[in-house]
Amino acid sequence: MEPLLKVEQIQKHFSTRGNAIFGSNKGVVKAVDGVSFEIAVGETLGLVGESGCGKTTTGRTILRLLEPTSGKITYEDTDITKLSTKAMREFRSKAQIIFQDPYSSLNPRHTVGKIIAAPFEIQNIEPVGGVKSAVQEVMERVGLNPEHYNRYPHEFSGGQRQRIGIARAIALRPKFIVADEPVSALDVSIQAQVINLLDELQSEFQMSYLFIAHDLSVVQHISDRVAVMYLGKIVEIAQTTDLYAAPHHPYTKALLSAVPIPDPKLERSRERIILKGDLPSPINPPPGCVFNTRCWKAQDICLSQAPELLQVGKSSVACHFPE
Amino acid sequence: MTKLLEIRNLKVTFPTDDGDVKAVDGLDLTLNSGETVALVGESGSGKTVTSLSVLGLHNRNTTRLSGEILVHTQSGSVDVNSAPDEDVRALRGKEVSMIFQDPMSSLHPYYSISNQLSEAYRIHNDVSKQAAFNRSVEMLEIVGIPEPAKRAKEFPHQFSGGMRQRVMIAMALINNPRVLIADEPTTALDVTVQAQILLLLRNLQKEFNMGILLITHDLGVVAGVADQVNVMYAGKVVECGKVDEIYYQPAAPYTMGLLSSIPSVYGKGTGRLSAIQGQPPSLINLSNGCAFEPRCSLKTLVTNANCATDKPLLVEDSAGHFARCHLDLATRKIYGQKVAAKGIN
Amino acid sequence: MLKFIGRRTAYALLTLLLVSMATYIIFAILPFDPAALSCGKGCRPNLIEANRIRLGFDKPIWEQYWLFLSGIFVGRNYGMGDAAFSCPAPSFGYSFNENACVTDMLKQALPVTLSLAIGALIIWIIMGVGLGVLAAKMKNTPVDTGATIFVLVGTSLPVFVTGLIFLVFLTIKWNIIPLNLTGYVSIFSNPIQFLIYFILPWLTLAFNFSAIYTRFTRSAVLETASEDYIRTAVAKGLPAKIVLRKHTLRAALSPIVTMAGLDFASLLGGAILTETIYNLPGLGRMSLKAVYEFDLSVVVATTLFAAAIVIFMNLLVDILYAYLDPRVRIS
């Protein structure tokens, strides 16, 4: 079965001017440096990593909110990498994004109704029964009171605003949603509500998700497969259960060992891998394997040759000495 | 073990145009040396407001404070709420230090690291600039900054997030305070950096025998570092006790709800998370009854009181383990055990 | 650092070149005859023609421009034979209305404008920033309300209204400041007279500027005071005075200082309204007069001078800002 979305060797580079005043520091930030993956229909791929790994940039690039520097994006057998804005319009009705910050991703001057109605207007779709009733139906589905149609975002709480963002994303029943840290800015008790909602919507509408997050617990809960990113590269992709039970890449191991578990006895008796040093600058990534500056297994080959993403067991790992 | 900090019936109210916001409504807390006490809660629970009160950082003109905050020093005790400004100021950075959530914005962007560290040292110690600089470098080394003498002359924006937090810790501990208040110290950091910082804090605590008051919403972090836990909701403590009791025998419905709703890396598979329905309440015009009542799934089991109108008191269930709930202990124990069994391997 | 200054200087020179060209082009397009204007009314055509040749207006505009440009470096000669005269380098031309080399005119007018600008700057910084800090410290008290009223009045009243009010009340009606009829004196020759001469113009300019700066300072201080690093400073145990001085003000004042630099630059180009009201023989009045009288050389010179000052002050301000804010410097 053909995958819904296929991403091949996507690169997104930003050029920097460095400091404007005292000389220039021209460099290239390789935010995303050769990322490939596939997402099947109805599947959730989790994308995890720490700050600066490139996961948010990846999410935006595959939707062409940012233009890829190179690489290929194929959606439903169509190459969308170079399509014009007009040709992209159809794609846009099938692929949507939910943003992280519910406070800044909604236009404060638009009513909730207008925000959720926007997709219909932009795509020129007249739903049966009219736009307003379609919007209210969506509002109800995400747990908002349809009578609040005329309210403004600031009148809602953080969790409710995120629901508005979700409503806007699912209004046209897309097949694919990029969820960019959708619960990171929410309180713990609200996170669970929103995660449950996303779960339900996925089964109901048969959607695929690219679920971007830094919280490994949340990703584990909602994803079928997980990809781990470090400094613009994918270091490991595996089925969720496999990744968390038996990680192969040293970084994945370190990451998992760093996640605090809400269980005092377990938490205090764990063997912890503490990574030394800091994240290298993305303007000057280390040669060879990007993780070699902090890896306890690094050997000569790691300093000169970047590892390919290869099969190890049932997972794909980019490491010369996978666990 | 000496008693370092005692908070008695702390109330913090912010008068606003729409009414009084009761941010903290009667909090009791004790912190001993060598111990870590965690204040856990979500936004609006009152935990940060509490931590700011300990150092008297609220604006007296816009805040109403009552109750006692006793800081026990070697030369006596000071009640931060009622002592004159000078006495409270003498405590800050010397007996009690604080580190904050966002290390980027908590350091002055215009002054070098050594400048800011030396300043913290010289405020409480009459020493020369050179002596203060040496002390700053010493502290940077203790917190694990490589090449401390060189980096001391640099500016905050030249450090990464984790390094900045180490600098904040160095600045807070430069006068060997007995109490360290850490307000969400790792929330803004990556998880691998968080692990480094928490390890550092644990080691420093052992070395200096400090008492740490940790403010956080992350139940994973609490499990790893806390000895005592106070769970807050809508300005009140709803449960407090030893860390094992809170996690393996939660006694308040809110605590149970929180523990059930966290997805855990080692949790029992996927499936629906049992979320707490509804939202945190507004802190203006809270009802006289239980603040958690609108969201509580166990309220139907309460027979001896009306949760919506009767105020539940903090009651000692067993030695040192308190909970604020009308529901009888036996029923709560059953549900508490169910929660503990589900969530943990 | 040197590369940076070099680059900025190159841009500066290019900008000045373009400014001067633009000015010349404007004059070339305008439908008037400079020779006739310089001769005055009742001038006969052959005299106008003679004037034209003498003053070089018969040449095509680009040649005139070239003569002007080269004159800056080597000086310029006018007229022929017995009626020849020259303006030594750096020559910005010759003013026919004033019958003087523009460079000399600039030399005379500059000290006046400089005194006006510097004096006003000192007063408005002290008043504006001082009042702003006070209003921020005493927020929501009568002092703060008073400051707000001052801000409203000071920013709403145009300079010429303020100037006239001061003139009418302080000098004419109440005689607090004696009317000055002696004209400009340098501060070095007669300080008292100098002060009397400039006090009203200073107050007029300072009134408007200090109102702006009060509002700006107040909001900058309030905004900085709510920053996390101020909270850290207090938590370290620093006394309130040190927190204000060393931490809050240092951060809040950086943008203010740079703003002041730019405002000062614009004043140096000539505070036209103020100089007109008080009849000060500064650059502002000089350029205004030149525009009315279509005196091309003076207009070009004052425009170039103002542009050069602005460019230079921008450079200075950028360097100053980098000194104040380490984040802007290269690491």
ipTM, 2 decimals? 0.87
Q: Is C330 exposed, middle or buried (0-12, 13-18, 19+ CB in 10 A)?
A: middle
Measured in angstroms, the CA of A25 and the nearest CA of chain C are apart by 8
Question: B223 CB near a chain A CB, below 8 Å?
Answer: yes
- CATH 1.10.3720.10 domain position(s) in chain C: 103-328
**Res. C270 pLDDT band, cuts 50 70 90:** confident
**Interface contact flag, C228 B92, Cβ < 8 Å:** no
Q: Average pLDDT in the B321-333 region?
A: 92
Q: Do C331 and B158 touch, CB atoms closer than 8 A?
A: yes
DSSP characters for C169-202? IIIIIS-SS----S----TTT-HHHHHHHHHHHH
Question: C233 CB near a chain B CB, below 8 Å?
Answer: yes
User: Which residues in chain B are contacts of A262 at CB distance < 8 A?
Assistant: 219-220, 222-223, 247, 259, 262, 264, 343-344
The structure tokens listed for C13 are 């020179």
C-alpha A156/C-alpha A153 separation (Å) is 6
Question: A51 CB near a chain B CB, below 8 Å?
Answer: yes
**Interface contact flag, C331 A19, Cβ < 8 Å:** yes
Q: How many Cβ atoms from other residues are within 10 Å of residue B319's Cβ?
A: 8
The widest CA-to-CA distance across chain B, in whole angstroms, is 69
From the list A278, C228, A276, C235, the residue with the least C-alpha distance to B174 is C235
Q: How many Cβ atoms from other residues are within 10 Å of residue C122's Cβ?
A: 12
User: From the centroid of its chain, how far is CA A31?
Assistant: 14
Nearest by CB to residue A25, choosing from C322, C328, C330, is C330
Domain boundaries, chain A: 246-323
pLDDT of residue B61: 83
**Interface contact flag, B90 C238, Cβ < 8 Å:** no
Give chain C's mean pLDDT: 83
pLDDT of residue C38: 64
**Interface contact flag, A192 B273, Cβ < 8 Å:** yes
Q: Average pLDDT in the B305-315 region?
A: 90
* B153-206 residue pLDDT tens: 999 998 988 899 999 999 999 999 999 999 999 988 888 889 999 999 999 999
Question: C192 CB near a chain A CB, below 8 Å?
Answer: no
Q: Which of C1, C3, C4 to mutate to test the interface with A (most CBs of A within 10 A)?
A: C4
Q: Average pLDDT in the C271-299 region?
A: 85
Q: Is C16 exposed, middle or buried (0-12, 13-18, 19+ CB in 10 A)?
A: middle
CB contact residues (below 8 A), chain C span 251-280, against chain B: 251, 254
DSSP conformation class of B246: H
Domains, chain B, ranges and CATH? Answer: 3-226 (3.40.50.300), 233-343 (no CATH)
Question: A154 CB near a chain B CB, below 8 Å?
Answer: no
C-alpha B250/C-alpha B239 separation (Å) is 8
Q: Would you call the peptide bond into C255 cis, given omega within 30 degrees of 0 as the criterion?
A: no
Q: Which of B94, B119, B154, B179 to mutate to test the interface with C (most CBs of C within 10 A)?
A: B119
User: Which residues in chain B are contacts of A214 at CB distance < 8 A?
Assistant: 190-191
Q: Do B82 and B72 touch, CB atoms closer than 8 A?
A: no
CATH number for the segment(s) C103-328: 1.10.3720.10
CA nearest B195 in A: which residue? Answer: A258
Q: Average pLDDT in the B73-100 region?
A: 92
* C202-227 residue pLDDT tens: 999 999 999 999 999 999 999 998 89
User: Which residues in chain C are contacts of B155 at CB distance < 8 A?
Assistant: 326-327
Q: What does DSSP say about strands A95-98 and A176-180: parallel, antiparallel, or unpaired?
A: parallel
Measured CA to CA in angstroms, residue A176 lies from A78, A120, A323 at distances of: 14, 17, 33
Neighbors of chain B by Cβ distance (3+ pairs < 8 Å): A, C
Q: Which residues contact B84 (CB under 8 A, 6 or more apart)?
A: none
What's phi and psi for C298, nearest 5 deg? -65, -40
**Interface contact flag, C3 A23, Cβ < 8 Å:** yes
Q: Average pLDDT in the A118-122 region?
A: 91
Q: Average pLDDT in the B301-309 region?
A: 88
Q: Do C236 and B93 touch, CB atoms closer than 8 A?
A: yes
Question: A108 CB near a chain B CB, below 8 Å?
Answer: no
Measured in residues, chain A has a length of: 323
CB contact residues (below 8 A), chain C span 291-320, against chain A: 318-319
The structure tokens listed for A183 are 């619960």
Q: What does DSSP say about strands A70-75 and A78-79: parallel, antiparallel, or unpaired?
A: antiparallel
Q: Is C5's pLDDT higher than 80? A: no
Q: How many Cβ atoms from other residues are within 10 Å of residue C194's Cβ?
A: 17
Q: Is C331's pLDDT higher than 60? A: no
**Res. C235 pLDDT band, cuts 50 70 90:** very high
pLDDT of residue A25: 55
CB contacts < 8 A (A, B): 140
Measured in angstroms, the CA of B133 and the nearest CA of chain A are apart by 25
